[in-house]
Structure 1
């Protein structure tokens, strides 16, 4: 074998190695984009990075979820819902996305839709404390205090140490006390 042949084979091997490295780096680049987005304080910068990741891979689930979360935090909950719907197309069984949809509907003050989202989660996981708490908040916003109290009570049965839910329950009891009624409670005839 001549020196020229050896050199050509080495060049081809390096080229193949370089191409293989590029293919394995692309997913790493996506994760790096998400990590960089997580480090930036600006939601606009986060969105640019999520969009860049989605340009590289339109099926990148985490980018859709994080983009939706950033949009919701920016007060763009309708746009966030579109991202969550896209994420659910990719992973229809993801309960976390359904929770996030419920949160976005809460922010839009579409409490019935919010409750539907949390009910979907609770159907699959009846002991999801976060969904119980958020469903309780949505019910409370609709003035359905008895149902809200039931959600808080069930959540506290599951996790009696949850301070946030205890506070929500105490605030609801205060509201009920001031109004003098728990109109939709099973024991409302005793008020």
Structure 2
């Protein structure tokens, strides 16, 4: 009887070994890591999960995209740009990444590069309201109010119901009125 118990225990232990080995060999799913990252409470945890996903699959487009977005949100725009460049290596025609690069350049106060990004998107999709709006905002930051107004007007032609763009345009009109001129107008030196 003791011998029978030893055999039974021995076979149970042998069954546990492959199960335990299977668990350590089980590969994590990068997609599941991104889902977990969406539910994470803080950016550091999100970044850790994105890095883990990218270690499993360095060509995981969405992980590069999301990591770049989070880095830009926490003020690490240069690192975000590197992530966006990796994503563009995987999908060179992705217009959303080009918009996000414009946003990161804007955060870095590299306004001319931001405009280049938005113009690149607008060459392919001249109906992209977000790019027109962002371009207007960047031009406004540069004091190029006339061009900014044109960008806002173009965005409103595409989507006349966008309240945010309407408000931004009205604030710009008020700014122009208070200054008494369009800084980039030909007669701006005479005011």
TM-score, normalised with respect to structure 1: 0.83
Correspondences of 1:76-95 after superposition (within 5 Å) = 76-95=76-95
Correspondences of 1:148-159 after superposition (within 5 Å) = 148-159=148-159
Paired residue secondary structure (1:55): helix
Corresponding position of 1:31 = 31
* Distance in 2, Cα, partners of 1:161 & 1:188: 32
How big is the shift at 1:31?
A: 1.3
Paired residue secondary structure (2:75): coil
Paired residue secondary structure (1:49): helix
* Distance in 1, Cα, partners of 2:72 & 2:110: 14
How big is the shift at 1:183?
A: 3.5
* Distance in 2, Cα, partners of 1:76 & 1:136: 24
Q: CA offsets per residue over residues 137-185 of structure 1, 9 Å max, x none?
A: 0000000000000000000000000011001101100110111001324
Query: Could you tell me whether the CA contact under 8 Å between 2:143 and 2:183 is conserved in 1?
Result: no
Corresponding position of 1:14 = none
**For the aligned residues, what is the CA RMSD?**
2.1
Unaligned 5+ segments in structure 2 are 1-21
Establish whether residue 166 from structure 1 lines up as the match of residue 162 from structure 2.
no
Unaligned 5+ segments in structure 1 are 1-17
Count of aligned residue pairs for this structure pair? 167
Corresponding position of 2:122 = 122
TM-score, normalised with respect to structure 2: 0.83
Q: Considering only CA atoms, is the larger Rg found in Structure 1 or Structure 2? A: 2
Correspondences of 1:16-95 after superposition (within 5 Å) = 29-95=29-95
